[in-house]
Every structure is written in C-alpha cells, then in structure tokens.
Amino acid sequence: MDNINREYISTYINSLICDEEEKLENFRKECENMKLPIIHKEVGQFIKLIIRQLGVKNIIEVGTNVGYSAIFMCRAMGDSGRVVTVERSDKFYREALKNIEKFSLDDRIDVCFGDALEVLDKVEGIFDMAFIDAAKSSYKIFFDKCLSKMKSGGIILSDNVLYQGMTATDGLVVRRKKTLVRNLRNYLKYISQDERFITSVLPLGDGLAVTLIK
Ligand SMILES: C[S@@+](CC[C@H](N)C(=O)[O-])C[C@H]1O[C@@H](n2cnc3c(N)ncnc32)[C@H](O)[C@@H]1O
C-alpha cells in the first residue's frame, strides 16, 4: 500500500503498459536502481496520451533531475517538438545533459540551470503543456510563472500532488512535512476553484493534477 492506490492495483495497471524501446526502458531501470525520483510509469503513460491527443509540440518542465521525463516526453512527441526544462542541482543538471546527448536529443531539449523561481522568468516562448515536478512547496509560484507562457487551451500537469496521501488527510501528515502539505492543499484549492482553469486531480502514481487553461 502506498496510501494512494493498493499495490496490486498499481502493479496490475503497470503490467498493462507496453514497454518503451529498449534504450529508454534501460534508462528507466537505471534510474529506478539508483532510486532517482523519476515519473511513475503509469504517469508517463498518461502524459504520453495527453501529448498525442493534443498534438503537444512545446513543453516546459520544472524539475529535470537526470532528464528521464524530458527524454520520455520528447520521444512521445515523435520526430518534432521541443522541451525546455529547468534544474537547480548542478550534479543533476550535468547528468541530464549527458543523458540527453546519449539519446541524441540535445537539439530538441534545452536544459536551463538554476532555481526555477528565477529561471522561469527568463524562459521565452509559448507552450502547449507544462509539467511541474520540483519543490512541492513552490508549486503555486511555478504554476503562475508557467501560466504566463501557456497558450489558451494549454495543459499544466502537476506531479506528486497527493504526496503519499498526506494532502488528503491529516492522519498521514508527518510533522516535518506540515508546511509542504499545507502549501499543496492551498495549491490544489487554487487550481481547482479559479474560474480560469478546469482541474482534475487523478490518484495516479503519487497524484497528478491536470489543469486546462481555458
Ligand atoms: C522529482 S525530480 C524530477 C524528476 C523528473 N521530472 C523525471 O521524472 O525524470 C525533482 C527535481 O527538481 C529539482 N528541483 C527542485 N526544486 C527546484 C527548483 N526550485 N528549481 C529547479 N529545480 C528544482 C530537484 O533538484 C530534482 O532534481
């Protein structure tokens, strides 16, 4: 049990997802073996569906880590489309650059080094989709900064919003996460109740919020 879905449900759902091509599968396994916090497989599958259904061609991502989701999303777009992704850890930034080069995607994925709270203001362009997957306490700030760059009808995805179930019930909240959980709850209220957006919160992986910008 991971407090969101029973393990047998997640295992079953994941067993239905077709493997990606071998190189990408091996990269996922390497990341998992190193216990890196990359997107859950079922979240990736949903993101791929959104990308294909909406014909997404420009993505902004907050939180690159070693580049798995950026590479995954880039592949999901097919032969064209670009990803701009932001990472504040020097170590992960350099790892991401190496991995992106290994997949020969350096001409389509632009990794920006620095704190997204500052870097996002400097990113230029209009995006079809944003993927927010970085410091959970700052989701509202990331969202608002991405919002100004979204086309009308664009989608903002926010990962880990249920935060191991803590967002949904005080009974699961551990003391050191109180502020983070409060911020996530306020964030979900904001994106769910503001009339500019339509949001659906899915119990997929660690919780994924899908927001349509009207
Ligand atoms: C969950 S990981 C991202 C995983 C990645 N999206 C994937 O699925 O492959 C979160 C990353 O966000 C980075 N991060 C956290 N807060 C950040 C911030 N304010 N600005 C930029 N990067 C941040 C962390 O260093 C970490 O590498």
pLDDT digits 0-9 by tens, 140-192:
999 999 999 999 999 999 999 999 999 999 999 999 999 999 999 999 999 99
Cα 63 to averaged position of ligand 1 atoms, centre (Å): 3
Cα 65 to averaged position of ligand 1 atoms, centre (Å): 5
On whether residue 2 sits in a domain, the answer given is no
Domain range holding 73?
7-213
pLDDT at 90: 98
On whether residue 140 sits in a domain, the answer given is yes
On whether residue 121 sits in a domain, the answer given is yes
Extract the tokens encoding 34: 């190193």
The letter for the amino acid at 163 is Y
On whether residue 126 sits in a domain, the answer given is yes
Q: Terminus-to-terminus CA distance in the chain, angstroms?
A: 36
Residue that the structure tokens 């907050």 belong to: 62
pLDDT at 202: 98
On whether residue 199 sits in a domain, the answer given is yes
The preferred substitution site among 35, 45, 62 for testing ligand 1, maximizing ligand atoms within 8 Å of CB, is 62
- C-alpha Rg value of the chain to the nearest Å: 16
User: Residue 11: in which H helix or E strand, if any?
Assistant: helix 7-16
Q: For residue 71, give the nearest of 121, 118, 106, 35 by alpha carbon.
A: 106
On whether residue 131 sits in a domain, the answer given is yes
Q: For residue 49, give the nearest of 26, 32, 31, 72 by alpha carbon.
A: 72
Extract the tokens encoding 24: 């990408």
Q: Is the pLDDT of residue 131 over 90?
A: yes
Band of pLDDT at residue 1, cut at 50, 70 and 90:
low
- According to DSSP, the residues that pair with 47 across neighbouring strands are none
Question: Residue range 49-55: average pLDDT?
Answer: 97
Cα 6 to averaged position of ligand 1 atoms, centre (Å): 26
40 lines ligand 1 (CB under 6 A): no
133 lines ligand 1 (CB under 6 A): yes
Q: Which of the 8 DSSP states describes residue 18? A: P
How high is the mean pLDDT of the chain? Answer: 97
pLDDT at 181: 98
CA-angle at 39, arms to 139 and 118, nearest 5°: 35
Cα 88 to averaged position of ligand 1 atoms, centre (Å): 7
pTM: 0.97
68 lines ligand 1 (CB under 6 A): yes
127 lines ligand 1 (CB under 6 A): no
pLDDT at 18: 92
Q: Which of the 8 DSSP states describes residue 66? A: T
Band of pLDDT at residue 2, cut at 50, 70 and 90:
confident
CATH number of the domain within which 49 lies:
3.40.50.150
Domain count, the chain: 1
On whether residue 1 sits in a domain, the answer given is no
